[in-house]
Amino acid sequence: MSTMVIAATVTAALIWVPGACASSITNRDGKDWKVTVIEDKATKDHVLAPSAALEGICLKGCVVRLNDNDKDEYELKGSEKVSIEDGYLYYDGPPASAVPKVDDADQPFEPGSE
């Protein structure tokens, strides 16, 4: 029984971890947007309908272009959560690396304890 629990936990961790370091884009506009993701030398086009999301992109960082417009390019490092609003890309929150670790979040600061 414990072997099955360990195997299930490891499998879940392997599936979950790559997405934790990836970016996502949500379309909060009322119209479709063509989103081009340029990662290394690969280019992939997506059409995002209103309220749709593109998950798990830019694992190593990328450039995102809206509607094939060279002036609407945004560079993502690979951990951002962003959204399209009024034709612009906005950050929805801090990147995963800026969020404090669970162990550090509730620790009070005591002067002289460093």
**Residue at 114 is within a domain:** no
**Residue at 106 is within a domain:** no
CATH code of the domain containing 70 = 2.60.40
Check residue 101 and give its pLDDT. 59
Closest CA to 23 of 49, 48, 58: 58
Q: For the chain (length 114 residues), average pLDDT per consecutive 10?
A: 48 45 93 95 95 94 92 89 94 66 58 62
- Amino acid letter, 27: N
Beta bridge partners of residue 64, listed in sequence order: 37, 74
3-state helix vs strand vs coil in the chain, percent to 5: 25, 35, 40
Q: How many domains does the chain have?
A: 1
Closest CA to 81 of 58, 63, 100: 58
Check residue 8 and give its pLDDT. 46
How many Å apart are CA 94 and CA 32, to the nearest integer?
Answer: 26
Check residue 114 and give its pLDDT. 56
